[in-house]
Amino acid sequence: MSKLPAAEIRALREILAHPHGTGAGCRCATETELTPHKSGKPHASEATHDENQTRHGRPAHPPMQPVDIDEIANTWAPRFELLADLTRLKLLSYMHIYPGSCVQDLANAAGITQTAASQALRVLRDEGWVSADRDGRLMRYTLKDTAAHQMLHFIGHIHV
């Protein structure tokens, strides 16, 4: 199994955990600023600014809203479970690049049998990630889940 680079893992964690939905360019308090120092003394950032300013003099974000960790985990764990399957990830990737592909094209691209592709597509369709439209005798599959689409962009997929 390949390992994601540390920078990508940090970026994904920031996106998933950030109170505003995305951490890109945000000046919220860092974990260091939120964690009390062992000595009990405030961090330098706490001692140099008031609660309405960051240490760089920019206005601070409003106080963080309570986050329901269970809700987030229950929402995202099944998504990562679907993406964790190599066959489904390959099929999603190919559909992202070539929307409206038939089962045979998807199977060939993923290097699997048509039966295996159909089974994986059924799971993705049941979860609402893809849609299937009849084109004569063929079924054409398209990625329809917005979050899955964004995640594919995050891991480096682009449109052709």
Spatial separation of the C-alpha atoms in residues 120 and 142, rounded to whole Å? 14
Q: Rounded to the nearest 5°, which phi and psi values hold at 159?
A: -85, 150
> What's the distance, CA 96 to chain centroid?
15
**Per-residue pLDDT at 78:** 87
Pick the CATH number of 76-155 from 1.10.10.10, 3.30.70.3040, 2.40.50.320, 1.10.1520.10: 1.10.10.10
**105 token code pair:** 């094209």
Task: Kindly list the domain boundaries of the chain, sorted by start residue.
Answer: 76-155
**Per-residue pLDDT at 147:** 86
**Per-residue pLDDT at 144:** 92
Residue 56's SS3 state is coil
Mean pLDDT of successive 10-residue segments in the chain (160 residues)?
61 59 48 52 50 59 73 87 90 91 94 96 94 94 89 76
> In terms of Cα–Cα distance, which of 79, 139, 88, 152 is closest to 117?
88
